[in-house]
């Protein structure tokens, strides 16, 4: 299979100084990955030129993901907040372009965090319109947008593959795909196989996060890897598969708290990354 195999930057570093970027990019390449996924919650303060230079030096691809916050939530009812969200997303899109990437995903349609009420009709419509607006800009640079549905504690806009496919149909742009994450699927889906088949049948299976049920090392939790990887093979998925894992060992000031990373699930990230790469090879084949 020709999948790109990626790893999330938070396995390596919590910030993105040149020293941190070099450590993350070199370690990703040395442990056998093709791509690093950068967490660009504040895309305006990301050194794109330095990042691109290091990616070239280590022959690595990059994708960009982020979750929005209160001030930039495009699923808000407040037009000023939606406008601030669009401005931040445009910065993120420009970052993807400037590092030579082709993917912008995550909770870009919503704040990443716990809501205490359901999304409103107007909020959902604001999010859909914002994604269509961003997709049209992204198309100019050959960038695909990934809608990563999250579990109910991290967004109220989309929590399942079926909701995500409906949301994407409403956005109605060719360069918008569904981003499936096993960590979130484990909480919200009925099956490992059916969502993969449904997304593929819609022509919208575009990006995959492999994460364990506790966000630690692959194969040490309760994710149904045989069923999930079997479904990816069944639909002949050839897109990116990125390993996501978080531990209190490596802390990003915002993202780690948004994701409720309170426990230390690993300390040695070289061992973690090497083991995860081997797990993917042995259980998936790529
Ligand atoms: Mn994820």
What sign does the dihedral 106-110-112-116 (CA atoms) show?
negative
Q: Tokens 């960590």 map to which residue?
A: 183
* pLDDT tops 90 at residue 261: yes
| Per-residue pLDDT tens over the stretch 193-230 | 999 999 999 999 999 999 999 999 999 999 999 999 99
Question: What is the reported pLDDT for 253?
Answer: 86
pTM exceeds 0.85, yes or no? yes
| Cα separation, 239 vs 120, whole angstroms | 33
Tell me, yes or no, if 148 is annotated catalytic.
yes
Residue 67 Cα to ligand 1 midpoint, Å, equals 10
| Cα separation, 201 vs 222, whole angstroms | 27
Residue 163 CB: number of other CB atoms within 10 A? Answer: 15
- pLDDT band at residue 86 under the 50/70/90 scheme: very high
Identify the burial level of 213 via C-beta atoms within 10 angstroms of its C-beta, where 0-12 means exposed, 13-18 middle and 19 or more buried. Answer: middle
Closest C-alpha among 58, 151, 148, 56 to residue 103: 148
Question: What is the reported pLDDT for 136?
Answer: 98
Residue 148 Cα to ligand 1 midpoint, Å, equals 7
Residue 57 Cα to ligand 1 midpoint, Å, equals 27
Question: What is the reported pLDDT for 99?
Answer: 97
Residues with beta carbon < 5 A to ion ligand 1?
181, 209, 244
At the topology level, CATH places domain 5-283 in TIM Barrel (3.20.20)
* pLDDT tops 80 at residue 1: no
Residue 244 Cα to ligand 1 midpoint, Å, equals 6
Task: Return mean pLDDT, the chain.
Answer: 97
Residue 39 Cα to ligand 1 midpoint, Å, equals 11
Tell me, yes or no, if 188 is annotated catalytic.
no
Terminal alpha carbon distance of the chain: 6
**Domain extents for the chain?**
5-283
| Per-residue pLDDT tens over the stretch 151-181 | 999 999 999 999 999 999 999 999 999 999 9
Residue 66 Cα to ligand 1 midpoint, Å, equals 10
Question: What is the reported pLDDT for 228?
Answer: 98
Residue 186 Cα to ligand 1 midpoint, Å, equals 12
Contacts of 132 (CB under 8 A, 6+ apart): 171, 172, 173
Of 37, 189, 212, 244, which one is the catalytic site residue?
A: 244
* Segment 119-146 mean pLDDT: 98
Question: For residue 52, how far is the Cα from the chain centroid?
Answer: 20
Residue 135 Cα to ligand 1 midpoint, Å, equals 20
Question: What is the reported pLDDT for 286?
Answer: 87
For the chain, give the percent of residues with pLDDT over 90.
98
Residue 52 Cα to ligand 1 midpoint, Å, equals 23
Question: What is the reported pLDDT for 2?
Answer: 85
Residue 106 Cα to ligand 1 midpoint, Å, equals 7
| Per-residue pLDDT tens over the stretch 47-85 | 999 999 999 999 999 999 999 999 999 999 999 999 999
DSSP 119: P
Of 148, 154, 189, 212, which one is the catalytic site residue?
A: 148
* Segment 107-135 mean pLDDT: 98
Contacts of 34 (CB under 8 A, 6+ apart): 4, 5, 6, 60, 61
């Amino acid at each position: 299979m020709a999948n790109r195999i990626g790893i999330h930057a938070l396995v390596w570093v919590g910030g993105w100084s040149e020293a941190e970027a070099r450590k993350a990019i070199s370690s990703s390449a040395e442990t056998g990955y093709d791509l690093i996924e950068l967490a660009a919650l504040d895309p305006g303060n990301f050194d794109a030129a330095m990042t691109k230079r290091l990616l070239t030096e280590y022959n690595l691809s990059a994708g960009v993901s982020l979750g929005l916050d209160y001030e930039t939530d495009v699923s808000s009812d407040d037009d000023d907040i939606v406008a601030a969200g669009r401005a931040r997303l445009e910065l993120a899109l420009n970052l993807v372009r400037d590092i030579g990437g082709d993917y912008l995903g995550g909770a870009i349609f919503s704040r990443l965090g716990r809501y205490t009420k359901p999304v409103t009709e107007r909020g959902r419509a604001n999010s859909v319109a914002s994604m269509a607006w961003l997709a049209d800009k992204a198309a100019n640079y050959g960038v695909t947008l990934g809608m990563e549905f999250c579990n109910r504690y991290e967004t109220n806009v989309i929590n399942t593959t079926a909701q995500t496919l409906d949301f994407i149909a409403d956005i109605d742009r060719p360069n918008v795909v569904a981003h499936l994450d096993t960590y979130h699927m484990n909480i919200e889906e009925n099956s490992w196989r059916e969502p993969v088949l449904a997304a593929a049948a819609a022509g919208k299976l575009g990006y995959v996060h492999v994460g364990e049920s506790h966000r630690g090392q692959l194969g040490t939790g309760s994710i149904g890897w045989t069923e999930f990887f079997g479904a990816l093979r069944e639909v002949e998925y050839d897109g990116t598969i990125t390993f996501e894992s978080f531990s209190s060992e490596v802390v990003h000031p915002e993202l780690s708290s948004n994701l409720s990373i309170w426990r230390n699930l690993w300390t040695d990230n070289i061992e973690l990354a090497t083991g995860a790469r081997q797990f993917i090879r042995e259980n998936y084949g790529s």
